[in-house]
Amino acid sequence: MAVLHNRISQKELKQRLLQETEHRVTISFYQYFHIEDSKAFRDTLYKALKGLNVFGRIYVAQEGINAQISVPESNFEALKSYLYSIEPLKDLRLNIAVDDDGKSFWVLKIKVREKIVADGIDDSTFDMRNRGKYVNADEFNTLTEDPNTIVVDMRNHYEYEVGHFQNAIEVPSDTFREQLPMAAKMLDEAKDKNIIMYCTGGIRCEKASAYMLHKGFKNVFHLEGGIINYANQVKEAGLTNKFKGKNFVFDDRLGERITEEIIAKCHQCGKPADTHVNCFNEGCHLLFIQCEECKEKWEGCCSKECQDFIHLPQETQKELRKGIDKGRNIFNKSRARLRPKLSEIEKGAH
């Protein structure tokens, strides 16, 4: 019987990745479609992708699939052929990473979830088949020139902080499930305007567009393939790039450079910076932005307390870390934000 999960230590897997000589391609994709038996689909998928030496993180649920993976360049076409052989995934759009060193993942994990993106929706009348219209990069650029258009960022606050589209409004929250009702409330006076939702790769903004239509909005669009596909399209077609800064990604890179502009600041000294790091103290592991100078000064830590902690004996550190639940330990310097007025939204303020 085939082993359908990893049995090698994370440390060894990372070491193996670093020793690889062939370049890997980092890819993300998703598809909303009905899966009758999620567990069986997961196991079949695992065996096929393991055979192609695919690494990454994939969620499977009855509503579809959500994947961020890497594959050796020589296996890319075989991977594509396999995915396309699955009828609901035929001609699936594969988002190729923009700024990629091929070291984004080192193990394959495929998990069965209740949903491929946690949304908090428990309304049985909600229907993903009724979703907003796709727009490509060119259509997005044209539509954003219309003063009757509002661009909405459906990512978390720490993603928005390092990069976003010109005049896009932020829906200030830590989770997607919080964002959906918040976005509808923020825009409750704009039901007849053009609403364009966007996110990293398309999965969240596609569901958000369906939610907005469900809540009575009329003209809802979502950016096909998200920021990743947009960046590739503007580069290939020589279009104006309306995205500024860096695109946060949920793999070991923690970001891919879209433009050279740095629009965020170091959370410790305030200098321009947009590099996300996790606090070097394993008992903290806070996700925050740190410049190179502060990285050296604080030894990769977020505070003096954590810096002192990492210099304790290893056994003492292990003992003190016991029972600590880091949860979603993310730096957020302004959790309480005022609801923007519609007049400010239309001007691109937030």
Q: Is residue 5 part of a domain?
A: no
- Three-state DSSP class for 106? coil
Q: Is residue 244 part of a domain?
A: no
If we measure between CA atoms, which residue out of 110, 312, 125 comes closest to residue 216? Answer: 125
Res. 349 pLDDT band, cuts 50 70 90: very low
What pLDDT shows up at residue 325? Answer: 57
Res. 253 pLDDT band, cuts 50 70 90: confident
Q: Is residue 71 part of a domain?
A: yes
Q: What is the pLDDT of residues 50-76, one digit of tens each?
A: 999 999 999 999 999 999 999 999 999
Query: What integer is the mean pLDDT of 41-49?
Result: 96
Lowest mean per-residue pLDDT among 92-101, 139-148, 320-329: 320-329
Is 216 found in the same domain as 91?
Answer: no
Is the model's pLDDT at 213 over the cut of 90? yes
Is the model's pLDDT at 172 over the cut of 50? yes
Q: Is residue 254 part of a domain?
A: no
Torsion of CA 168, 192, 118, 198, to 10 degrees: -30
Residues whose CB is less than 8 angstroms from the CB of residue 233 and which lie 6 or more positions away in sequence, other chains included = 136, 137, 138, 225, 239
d(CA 107, CA 91): 26
d(CA 13, CA 50): 14
What CATH number did the domain enclosing 182 receive? 3.40.250.10
What pLDDT shows up at residue 7? Answer: 64
Is 232 found in the same domain as 138?
Answer: yes
Residue of 199, 266, 279, 306 with catalytic role: 199
Residues whose CB is less than 8 angstroms from the CB of residue 164 and which lie 6 or more positions away in sequence, other chains included = 153, 170, 243, 244, 245, 263
Lowest mean per-residue pLDDT among 11-20, 81-90, 178-187: 11-20
Query: What integer is the mean pLDDT of 236-259?
Result: 87
Is 195 found in the same domain as 57?
Answer: no
**Known active-site residue 294:** no
Higher-confidence residue of 327 and 4: namely 4
Is 343 found in the same domain as 228?
Answer: yes
Higher-confidence residue of 154 and 19: namely 154
Q: How much of the chain, in percent, has pLDDT values that exceed 90?
A: 61
- Three-state DSSP class for 19? helix
Query: What integer is the mean pLDDT of 230-237?
Result: 93
Q: Is residue 123 part of a domain?
A: no
What pLDDT shows up at residue 337? Answer: 32
The greatest distance separating any two alpha carbons of the chain, rounded to the nearest whole angstrom, comes to 62
Res. 6 pLDDT band, cuts 50 70 90: low
Domain count along the chain: 3
What pLDDT shows up at residue 10? Answer: 65
What CATH number did the domain enclosing 99 receive? 3.30.70.100
Is 73 found in the same domain as 198?
Answer: no
Query: What range defines the domain where residue 303 resides?
Result: 276-321
What pLDDT shows up at residue 350? Answer: 36
Is 233 found in the same domain as 158?
Answer: yes
